[in-house]
Amino acid sequence: MANLPRVVLITGASSGFGRAIAADLATRGWEVWAASRHPQPVERCRTLTLDVCSDLSVADGVAQVLRESGRIDALVNNAGYGIAGAIEDTTAQEAWAQLDTNFIGMHRLCRAVIPGMRAARAGRIVNMSSLGGLVALPFQAFYAASKFAVEAYTEALRMELAAFGIKVSMVEPGDFATGFTASRRLTAACAQGSPYFETATRVIARAGEDEQKMRDIGPVVRAVSAALESRSPRLRYPVASAIQRLLVGLRPVLPQPWFEYLVMDNYKMR
């Protein structure tokens, strides 16, 4: 048993962070299951069709991994996307779709794999959060809300599973150049005629510019491998530019009007 490769299941592995994480872990000797709704080949990885928004798809996917690999030693919850638009311009259906993918989908996967890890009294879970889970972003409120939820959930899960030998962490990327920018969805009402349209499109464009500046996603990939392979993994692995880390660090100490000014100034809202 000791010579068998460790088995990891990664969601959202068809592109971006997920694909890079899968490729990296495969080179480290892991048996990697790269899962997504529309799987793409990843060298030295096994692919799996899995929709995190479907209870049945999650159950079937996890069952397949257990059937063919015998166990799941680690889970990386990476599946997600972003919506953008004013809160007033966001329907309940659009908000729920965002939360279902980024947060409830993560919960589905955790519930599916934890029983096996608990029985083995070992396992690793890494949830992909965001600096947007620590600082609210104008015109991306529901993306931020989904990541704020990931933060709270992961803190609680880490404490609940500690007695069973399961270690839980989260990686908090700042802005990086991945397919996330191009796949960001505008709410249907974020259009001409909305009183927010001009400001929202300017803010969203600025966010995209910031994301494209950080083209090396290697630090995020290495943070995930550290969380999976460290003897004593940390709860949080923030990965961002110095200015972004500074902004997040100032959040609890600056007066709220000052902090809001910095955020709004960065996004050209003034």
Q: What is the pLDDT of residues 8-25, one digit of tens each?
A: 999 999 999 999 999 999
Question: Which two structure tokens, joined as six digits, stand for 121?
Answer: 């009294």
Q: Compute the distance between CA of residue 170 and CA of residue 224 in angstroms, rounded to an integer.
A: 8
Calculate mean pLDDT across residues 122-127.
Answer: 98
First to last CA, the chain: 61
pLDDT band at 138 (very low <50, low <70, confident <90, very high): very high
Q: Which domain holds residue 145?
A: 7-266
Q: What is the pLDDT of residues 250-265, one digit of tens each?
A: 889 999 999 999 989 8
Domains contained in the chain, number: 1
123, 163 in Cβ contact below 8 A? no
Is 2 within the bounds of a domain?
no
Calculate mean pLDDT across residues 66-74.
Answer: 98
If you write DSSP's letter for every residue of 146-215 in order, what string do you get? HHHHHHHHHHHHHHHHGGGTEEEEEEEE-S--STHHHH-EE-TT-STT-TTHHHHHHHHHHHHHHHHH--
Calculate mean pLDDT across residues 75-80.
Answer: 97
179, 16 in Cβ contact below 8 A? yes
Q: What is the pLDDT of residue 1?
A: 46
Query: CB within 8 A of 78, min separation 6: which ones?
Result: 10, 11, 12, 13, 17, 18, 21, 128
Q: Compute the distance between CA of residue 212 and CA of residue 232 in angstroms, rounded to an integer.
A: 33
Question: Which two structure tokens, joined as six digits, stand for 184?
Answer: 């960001």
DSSP code of 88? T
Q: 77 by DSSP, 3-state: which?
A: strand
Question: Model's pTM, two decimal places?
Answer: 0.94
Q: Compute the distance between CA of residue 143 and CA of residue 27 in angstroms, rounded to an integer.
A: 32
Chain centroid offset of residue 224 CA: 11
Q: What is the pLDDT of residue 154?
A: 98
Q: What is the pLDDT of residues 210-220, one digit of tens each?
A: 777 777 889 99
Where residue 54 sits, what CATH number does that domain have? 3.40.50.720
Is 1 within the bounds of a domain?
no
pLDDT higher than threshold 80 for residue 180: no
pLDDT band at 31 (very low <50, low <70, confident <90, very high): very high
pLDDT higher than threshold 50 for residue 244: yes
Calculate mean pLDDT across residues 80-88.
Answer: 96
Q: What is the pLDDT of residue 183?
A: 78
Q: Which residues are catalytic?
A: 14, 129, 143, 147
